[in-house]
Structure 1
Amino acid sequence: MTQRQRLGLAWAVKILGFVFLCGAVPQLTAQEMDHDGQSTPAVLVQKVREATRKFSNVNNARLAGYSPAFGCVSGPDHGAMGIHYVNGGLVGDGEIDVEHPEALIYEPMGNKRMLVGVEYIVDAATWLMYHNNTPPVLEGQDFQLVASPNRFNLNTFYELHVWAWRDNPQGAFVDWNNNVSCEHQ
């Protein structure tokens, strides 16, 4: 097993803690996260929609290797993230690919699931080692750095939420979404 594969496996295990505890990341507006004006939120949101349309049916997500990590994650004082379906094969691989998000986010609607967004997650050390110490950017959107030590008990990592299927009044890349609820789980 290569060092990169070992890191991927370690991150697949650690990500469960991250998903459960997400939300301690400082909230930034879409304007603050825009990278040099090279892209608008709409560009990345549209690409994510095209890449994840097939996952509007949660059964397709399961067939592609995604599985629910926890129940619905509610915000500490507002909004929610929903249920994260994580693909262990993608977590910790050191890659960021708009076509393959590490996590799909669903809002519970009774016994159904509605796709509302995705999350891209990458170990900082792995990313920086293979990308000349340059922080990750996806279609002009900077990732948020979550330093270690952190409440997730993870190594330092980068993450980016994209609310492609549910409008977020705070911005397309803010962690918590006031338009997502865990009320119907």
Structure 2
Amino acid sequence: MAAVLAHAESHATLRDQVRAANSRFADVAVALKEGYAPIPCASGADGGAMGIHYVNAALIGDEKVEIGRPEAVMYEPTAKGKMKLVAVEYITTKGPANLAGQLFNFTSAPNRYGLPSFYELHVWAWRDNPKGVFADMNPNVSCEHTHPTAG
């Protein structure tokens, strides 16, 4: 039982570290200013979504994994046309990869993104996810209010 509690506590700690290091992205204008660009809202086939990813191609290309420089910042579009920060994603082609001991998921090629094989880690730092802090899809996120020009 102690191991389970320690594991859950380490997830909370990493989530809190990610939140503190990336809180500036609560304003989507900051992401745009830092070189992030939106791609379409990603929904899951069995429900839930990832939201609209704002991706920084230069950060993907540098192959570094840094807590305060995620390769993607994820937003849920709201009914009022705003972007609500929900998560970040770390991406690298060098692996196996980890962030503070949390292993990344491997995505092989070919994949739906048209990318070579890569490692990725979602961190749901601003939106609770019943599937887990590091799950890809979140049933508490929706693409319902995506506008055609929003991604």
Both structures adopt the same fold (TM-score exceeding 0.5): yes
After superposition, the CA RMSD in angstroms is 1.9
| Displacement of 1:154 | 2.3
Give the SS at the match of 2:59: coil
Question: Distance between the aligned counterparts of 2:99 and 2:32, measured in 1?
Answer: 25
Give unmatched runs, 5+ long, in structure 2: 147-151
For residue 67 of structure 2, what is the aligned residue in structure 1? 98
Q: Distance in 1 between matches of 2:102 and 2:14?
A: 8
- Contact kept, 8 Å, 1:120 with 1:159, in 2: the verdict is yes
**Structure 1 counterpart of 2:128:** 167
- Seq. identity, %: 51
Q: How many residues align?
A: 141
Which residue of structure 1 lines up, in the alignment, with residue 149 of structure 2? none
Offset from partner CA, 1:76-129 (integer Å, 9 cap, x none): 121001000011210121110011000000000131000000110101xxx25x
Q: Which structure is higher in RCO with an 8 Å CA cutoff and minimum separation 6?
A: 1
**TM-score calculated relative to the size of structure 1:** 0.71
- After the TM superposition, which residues 52-131 of structure 1 pair with which residues of structure 2 at under 5 Å, given as runs? 52-70=22-40, 72-109=41-78, 110-123=80-93, 127-128=94-95
Matched, 1:157 2:127: no
Shift of 1:148: 2.6
Q: Take 2:27 and 2:137, find their aligned partners in 1: how far apart are those partners?
A: 23
The SS at the match of 1:59 is: helix
Normalised by the length of structure 2, the TM-score is: 0.86
In structure 2, the residue matched to 1:22 is: none
